[in-house]
Amino acid sequence: MAARSWIALVLLVSAGPALAADSWDKMLCLAGGGAPSANVLHCTRALEAGLFETDEDRARGLFKRGTAQIETGACADAIADFDEAIRLRPEYGEAFHNRGVAKWRMGKLEGALADFDESIALGQVELWRAYKVRGDLKAEMGRLDEALADYKRSLAIRPDWDYARKALRRVMVRKQGN
C-alpha cells in the first residue's frame, strides 16, 4: 500500500508542479479535516482550476468548501456555495442540510427549517443526524412536541446515539416545566 502511495506521488509530481499543486488542492479539499480556512483555500483553488469536471463532482467541491466556510463563520459565502451545489445536483440532501445549518447560524430559522425538511425528504445519508438537528432547531423555536418527535425518529434509526437521547430528555424536562 505504501509503495502505491509513493508511486502515485512520484507520478503526480513528475506531471509538473502546477498539476501536482492543483491535484493536491483537490485531494485536500475532498479530504477536509484540516484547518477550515485551509480547506476553503484548497477547495477554492481546485474549483478555480477546473479540477471538478462533472456537475456532480463540482457540486461535491462546492459542498466541501461551503462546509468549511460555515466553520470559519462565512455563512453567507457557504449559502452561496450550497445554492450552486443544489443547482448542479438538486437531489443533494446533504447540501440542503448544511445550507440549513448556515441559515440557522445567521438567524434565518424558517429558511433553515425548510432546508432541513428538504434534506430529510431527499433521504440524506445520515438521516438519524438530520432528524436530531431538525429537532434541535424546533426546540429552539419552541416547537417542543415536534422536536420530541424528531428526536424519537433519530433514536429509532440509531438507538445508541447519546446526543439524541440527551436532547430528548432536555426537551422533555423543558416541556414539563411549561
For residue 176, give every residue at least 6 positions away whose Cβ sits within 8 Å of its Cβ, in sequence order, or none.
none
Of 125 and 90, the structure prediction assigns the larger pLDDT to: 90
Contact 55, 84 (CB under 8 A): no
| pLDDT bracket for residue 178 (50, 70, 90) | low
Compute the mean pLDDT over every residue in the chain, rounded to the nearest whole number. 90
Single pTM value for the model = 0.85
Helix (H) or strand (E) holding 168: helix 162-177
Amino acid type, 144: L
